[in-house]
Amino acid sequence: MKIPNVITAMLAGIILTLASLWFGQNHGLMPVAASEEAPLVDDLFNAMMTIAAGLFILVQGALVISIIKFRKRPGDETDAFPVDGNLSLEIVWTAIPVVIVLGLSVYSFEVYNSMGGLDPMASHDHGPHQMAMTSGAAIAAPLPGMEDTMPPATEQKIALGVGASPENQGNPADLEVNVMGLQFAWIFTYPESGVVSGELHIPAGKEVQLNIAAQDVLHAFWVPQFRLKQDAIPARTTELRFKPKVPGDYPVVCAELCGAYHGAMQTRVVVETPEDFEAWLQTQIALQKDAASQTVAMNPGELSDGEFLTPFVRDMGIDSAALEQLHPPAHHEHHNS
Amino acid sequence: MTTAGIETTVKPPEPHGESDGNNWRKYFSFSTDHKVIGIQYLVTSFLFYLIGGLLAEGVRVELATPDPDFVDPQLYNGLFTVHATVMIFLWIVPGTAGFANYVIPLAIGAKDMAFPRLNAVGFWLIPPGGILLLSSFFVGAPGAGWTSYPPLSVVGDKAGQLLWILSVLVLGTSSILGAINFLSTILKMRIPDMELNDMPLFCWAMLAASALILVSTPVLAGALILLCFDLMAGTPFFNPMAGGDPVVYQHMFWFYSHPAVYIMILPVFGMISEIIPVHARKPIFGYQAIAYSSLAISFLGLIVWAHHMFTSGTPGWLRMFFMIATMAIAVPTGIKVFSWVATIWGGKLRLNSAMLFAIGFVSMFLVGGLSGVMLASVPFDIHVHDTYFIVAHLHYVLFGGSVFGIYAAVYHWFPKMTGRMMNEFWGKVHFFLTFFGFNLCFLPMHWLGLQGMPRRVAQYNPEFATVNMVCTVGSFILAISTLPFLFNAIWSWIAGPKASANPWRALTLEWQTSSPPPVENFIEEPVLWSGPYEYGIDTLSDRQSVDELLTEVKGEV
């Protein structure tokens, strides 16, 4: 009986390992990986899925086998053989998780570093906008009544988020876009050309830096296909720097609850070839020359959301479904007093 | 020997506690009896669970289709905000406190809790807290999520948000009063023979959870009071436009609210450690490892809060620190899971309703634990933070974990509390419906989150419509699964078969007195004649005499 047990255990171990390895690579749970950073996250996720699948099968398998094999036999009112511990077994199942989580920590650290998360320009908190301190004000407090929440466009600045990957640190990105989140839309400003858009267009294969700000409440900029997300925080600039790779049309999702129409706060990011991107940019410049004053000289605080958003809806191709949500029949006096 | 004496004296079916006739009124009074208070907690919190469940059904009906067509979007935000708040502060926290109240004095051989009046005050804060919270629907429910992040929470309806803050402050106070009581009771009221290492593991778990409550809840109170000033008086603590910082609120909030997860799961860990050995007829595997891992979780739970803020205003080094600390929690948690599995392995499993829910707990909590380790990893968390992956994860921990565990505990301790047995058939129907509905509702949400569906939305991309419909169907099955339980519990309480003092032949002290126990718990001082989990001594005859064993067995009718 001993030998078959050993063989069964070995076979079970092999099948468990193969099944976990297979599942870790073939779960198909992630959407398209459209940025250079995304495959790094996916590989990490696959590794974690492999380990998780192994542990899942091990524990659930033990439970199922127990239910079948160790259920009380009819008429047997006795207790089971008392085993109240096993030091070496306990050391093993303490040590294995220690090794796993240390390994995952190191691996995650490496991935995060390669993505640019530890870029010194993006990983030190300097509080809300660094401003001169007024006497008596709290440390690092910005000047009261500061209106300019748009991040300054050109000079190198420190912002939280995911910055340049180690090989690009210190170099400016190929393209900078200022991202403003507001209830319930995204506005993208291209500081070099002055183009303002409701959709994000970016060239494939170029380093893109998004300087993210919020006008009213917290929002979060998320593109699932880039595996990148960063909160937009009023009076504080955050950043995401990445290299889009696969041309296509992807959703930009607001991932931080921002009010009643949070779910409608979506637009798209278009990754296109550098030539197509340049062509789009030129069209926008031409369009914007015609209607330069429409979107800039406006104080959103005086307008209701619907009124405020109307020009964006008109100019920026927000689709009709989203438009419908932005014009609720009633109740929109609730948010943003 | 003394215990054996008690058991024979309680053979007449009239339980001591109910001998004084129509005593149902005591459950509506300011009783200082820990057993009355325990049942008050449990029944009250279960009523709030039903309300919280109805709110969840509102959310799921809205999400059955991609369009926001069921309720007004602002009301929708109120539904999930109040759902989460009810489930946390009015169901799981007071529900586990109910069991701790009922069981712990009995399990350590005490006559009552250390501070009976404080105990009653703690309970009687719950109903006003709950009414405050639910009344917010009449003035515009709070719509900023249970996290109530500013600035959103201070720019909306003031009245609803204020009620939310007041309610959570009241309920937090109740939780603190309970924690003081549990700590004092467990540390000071044990019968003289019971050393710390002789305590049932539920006591260890409550020590760990109570310590967490005492350290973290005041910080939440601080955050909420500041938020209240911002909301009502226009102070700028968290207002970025006037020099405040909303990220500070997040730190303060999560300094409580991450430990809150352990406050909700540690007591359940403890209850599971009680239930599994009894029904597996086998000693708990690795008593000390389970006991000390509760303390380790309690400590580590205090230094992981910023993993809720990996995409917020947090610098890279801080994200790395909290990633590693969070990963470390997997170690003590893993020890517990492996120990439970090892306890089950090789047992003689009584697969009754309590045991089914206990095994279901281990199985479902495992899924939540595995996704929890993934979420600790910053690069992956950045992708899934604030998505349905999180919704799936947290429900596997708090429903698959805490609620399954609470159900297991109800089936396990119901005979002790009421003196009646529950119906096993309907208990099993309840289990299988719950297990199936739960997985149908929450398993697909992992996929939704990974694919790109954010949480807290009333509308979503049509590509997610089918899977959301599946989740909604699952949630209906889950809702229906409550009915067999409800009717089983009510019917059994009134007319179920009488329970003996020790129907499960368990060894902890609460089973060594009548069911339900008399007013001060034990007719005679209980004697600690066995460790809490020394099952299987009939196969080894080194310590216990067979006589003792037989009298113990005689407890079963």
pLDDT per position as a tens digit, B119-167: 999 999 999 999 999 999 999 999 999 999 999 999 988 999 999 999 9
Question: Which of A52, A63, A105 lies at the smallest CB-CB distance from B341?
Answer: A63
Supply the angle between the helices B388-397 and B353-376 in degrees, to the nearest 10: 140
Confirm or reject contact between B544 and chain A (CB < 8 A): no
Q: Which amino acid is at A124?
A: H
Which distant-in-sequence residues (6+ apart) come within 8 Å of A110 by Cβ?
none
* Closest CA of chain A from B496, distance in Å: 23
Q: What is the pLDDT of residues A194-206, one digit of tens each?
A: 999 999 999 999 9
Residues in A closer than 8 angstroms to B334, CB to CB, are 93-94, 97
Residues 352-391 of B with CB under 8 A from A: 359, 362-363, 366-367, 370-371, 373-374, 376-380, 382-383, 385-387
Residues in A closer than 8 angstroms to B541, CB to CB, are none
Identify the band that residue A168 occupies on the pLDDT scale cut at 50, 70 and 90: confident
Q: How far apart are CA A94 and CA A88, in angstroms?
A: 10
pLDDT in the model for residue B43? 96
DSSP output for B2-14: HHHHHHHHT-SSS
Residues in A closer than 8 angstroms to B387, CB to CB, are 255
Question: Which of A66, A84, A138 lies at the smallest CB-CB distance from B345?
Answer: A66
Among residues B208, B214, B223, which one has the least CA distance to residue B177?
Answer: B214
Distance set, CA A30 to CA A33, B63, B452 (Å) = 8, 22, 9
SS3 content of chain A, % helix, strand, coil (to 5): 40, 20, 40
Q: How far apart are CA B397 and CA B265, in angstroms?
A: 8
DSSP A264: G
Residues in B closer than 8 angstroms to A238, CB to CB, are 313
Confirm or reject contact between B542 and chain A (CB < 8 A): no
Token pair recorded at residue B405: 């565990």
Q: Specify whether A303 is located in the same domain as A198.
A: yes
Q: How far apart are CA B165 and CA A77, in angstroms?
A: 53
Confirm or reject contact between B315 and chain A (CB < 8 A): yes
- The reply to whether A152 falls in a domain is no
State mean pLDDT over A297-309: 55
Q: How far apart are CA B38 and CA B420, in angstroms?
A: 17
Residues in A closer than 8 angstroms to B143, CB to CB, are 259-260, 334
* Closest CA of chain B from A311, distance in Å: 23
Q: Specify whether A106 is located in the same domain as A168.
A: no
For the ranges A43-57, A172-186, A284-298, B448-462, the lowest mean pLDDT is seen at: A284-298
Q: What is the pLDDT of residues B78-94, one digit of tens each?
A: 999 999 999 999 999 99
Q: How far apart are CA A169 and CA B17, in angstroms?
A: 74
Residue for token digits 């921002």?
A: A258
For residues B476 and B57, is the Cβ–Cβ distance under 8 A? yes
Identify the band that residue B530 occupies on the pLDDT scale cut at 50, 70 and 90: confident
Q: How far apart are CA A206 and CA A174, in angstroms?
A: 6
Q: How far apart are CA A125 and CA B109, in angstroms?
A: 53
CB A58: neighbour CB atoms within 10 A? 17
Distance set, CA A146 to CA A129, A158, A215, B513 (Å) = 10, 19, 12, 69
Residue B13 or B339, more confident: B339
Q: What is the pLDDT of residues B26-67, one digit of tens each?
A: 888 899 999 999 999 999 999 999 999 999 999 999 999 999
For residues B165 and B227, is the Cβ–Cβ distance under 8 A? yes
For residues A48 and B377, is the Cβ–Cβ distance under 8 A? yes
- The reply to whether A150 falls in a domain is no
Among residues B122, B100, B133, B317, which one has the least CA distance to residue B210?
Answer: B100
For chain B, the structural domain boundaries read 2-12+27-554
* Closest CA of chain A from B243, distance in Å: 5
Q: What is the mean pLDDT of chain A?
A: 81
Q: How far apart are CA A213 and CA A129, in angstroms?
A: 11
Q: Are A56 and B242 a contacting pair at CB < 8 A?
A: no
- The reply to whether A129 falls in a domain is no
- Of A80, A115, A150, the last residue of a domain is A115
Q: How far apart are CA A45 and CA B382, in angstroms?
A: 12
Token pair recorded at residue B544: 């216990």
Residue A175, strand partner residues: A208
- Does the pLDDT value for residue A151 go beyond 50? no
SS3 (DSSP) at A241? strand
CATH of B2-12+27-554, one of 3.40.250.10, 1.20.210.10, 2.30.30.700, 1.20.1440.230: 1.20.210.10
DSSP A23: H
Ramachandran quadrant class, B224 (left: phi over 0; alpha: psi -120 to 50; beta: rest) = alpha
CA B378 vs. chain centroid, Å, equals 28
Q: What is the pLDDT of residues B320-350, one digit of tens each?
A: 999 999 999 999 999 999 999 999 999 999 9
Q: Which residue of A has its CA nearest to B74?
A: A260
Supply the angle between the helices B73-85 and B158-188 in degrees, to the nearest 10: 10
Q: How many A-B residue pairs are in contact by the CB < 8 A criterion?
A: 333
Q: Specify whether A93 is located in the same domain as A180.
A: no
Which distant-in-sequence residues (6+ apart) come within 8 Å of B350 by Cβ?
A72, B279, B280, B281, B504
Residue A180, strand partner residues: A187, A213
Q: Which residue of B has its CA nearest to A327?
A: B73
Q: How far apart are CA B38 and CA B479, in angstroms?
A: 25
Q: Are A257 and B284 a contacting pair at CB < 8 A?
A: no
Range of the domain at A65: 2-69+89-115
Q: Which amino acid is at B105?
A: P
Token pair recorded at residue B64: 């059955």
pLDDT in the model for residue A114? 93
Which distant-in-sequence residues (6+ apart) come within 8 Å of B328 by Cβ?
A101, B300
CB B494: neighbour CB atoms within 10 A? 9
Q: State the ipTM, two decimals.
A: 0.90
Question: Which of B282, B335, B376 lies at the smallest CB-CB distance from A94?
Answer: B335
Confirm or reject contact between A52 and chain B (CB < 8 A): yes
SS3 (DSSP) at B46? helix
Token pair recorded at residue A199: 């959709």
For residues A204 and A247, is the Cβ–Cβ distance under 8 A? yes
Q: Which amino acid is at B189?
A: M
Output the CA angle B314-B315-B318, nearest 5 degrees.
85
Residue for token digits 């009333």?
A: B458
SS3 (DSSP) at B523? coil
Q: Specify whether A232 is located in the same domain as A308.
A: yes
Domain count, chain A: 2
Confirm or reject contact between B351 and chain A (CB < 8 A): yes
Among residues B220, B363, B498, which one has the least CA distance to residue A62?
Answer: B363
SS3 content of chain B, % helix, strand, coil (to 5): 70, 0, 25
Confirm or reject contact between A300 and chain B (CB < 8 A): no
For residues B163 and B142, is the Cβ–Cβ distance under 8 A? yes
- Does the pLDDT value for residue B548 go beyond 70? no
Q: What is the mean pLDDT of chain B?
A: 91
Among residues B55, B243, B45, which one has the least CA distance to residue B146?
Answer: B55
Q: What is the pLDDT of residues B186-240, one digit of tens each?
A: 999 999 989 999 999 999 999 999 999 999 999 999 999 999 999 999 999 998 8
Buried b (16+ CB within 10 A) or exposed e, B250-275: bbbbbbbbbbbbbbbbbbbbbbbbbb
pLDDT in the model for residue B105? 96
Q: How far apart are CA A288 and CA A290, in angstroms?
A: 5
Question: Which of A104, A234, A263 lies at the smallest CB-CB distance from B327?
Answer: A104
Q: How far apart are CA A234 and CA B542, in angstroms?
A: 70
**Helix ranges (DSSP H) in B88-193:** 93-107, 116-124, 126-139, 152-155, 158-188
Percent of chain A with pLDDT over 90: 58
Identify the band that residue A124 occupies on the pLDDT scale cut at 50, 70 and 90: low
pLDDT in the model for residue A140? 40
- Does the pLDDT value for residue B2 go beyond 50? no
Residues 259-278 of A with CB under 8 A from B: 259-264, 266
- Residue A137 burial (C-beta neighbours within 10 Å; 0-12, 13-18, 19+): middle
H or E, element range at A60 = helix A38-69
For residues B327 and B373, is the Cβ–Cβ distance under 8 A? yes
Token pair recorded at residue B151: 């600035």
Q: Are B241 and A146 a contacting pair at CB < 8 A?
A: yes
Residues in B closer than 8 angstroms to A115, CB to CB, are 379
Q: Specify whether A304 is located in the same domain as A181.
A: yes
- Does the pLDDT value for residue B257 go beyond 80? yes
For residues A208 and A244, is the Cβ–Cβ distance under 8 A? yes
State mean pLDDT over A49-68: 95
Output the CA angle B35-B36-B38, nearest 5 degrees.
65
Q: Are B327 and A331 a contacting pair at CB < 8 A?
A: no
pTM exceeds 0.90: no
Residue B304 or A121, more confident: B304
- Does the pLDDT value for residue B98 go beyond 70? yes
- Residue A315 burial (C-beta neighbours within 10 Å; 0-12, 13-18, 19+): middle
Count H helices, E strands: chain A?
Answer: 6, 11
Q: Are strands A208-214 and A175-182 parallel, antiparallel or unpaired?
A: parallel
* Closest CA of chain A from B349, distance in Å: 4
pLDDT in the model for residue B437? 97
Q: Are B346 and A262 a contacting pair at CB < 8 A?
A: no
Among residues A45, A51, A41, which one has the least CA distance to residue A20?
Answer: A51
Count H helices, E strands: chain B?
Answer: 20, 0
- Does the pLDDT value for residue A212 go beyond 90? yes
Q: Specify whether A100 is located in the same domain as A28.
A: yes
Q: Specify whether A169 is located in the same domain as A108.
A: no
Question: Which of B77, B346, B377 lies at the smallest CB-CB distance from A81?
Answer: B346
Q: Which residue of B has its CA nearest to A136?
A: B243
Q: Are strands A238-242 and A208-214 parallel, antiparallel or unpaired?
A: antiparallel
Q: Are A52 and B281 a contacting pair at CB < 8 A?
A: no
DSSP A80: P
Question: Which of A122, A144, A251 lies at the smallest CB-CB distance from B461?
Answer: A251
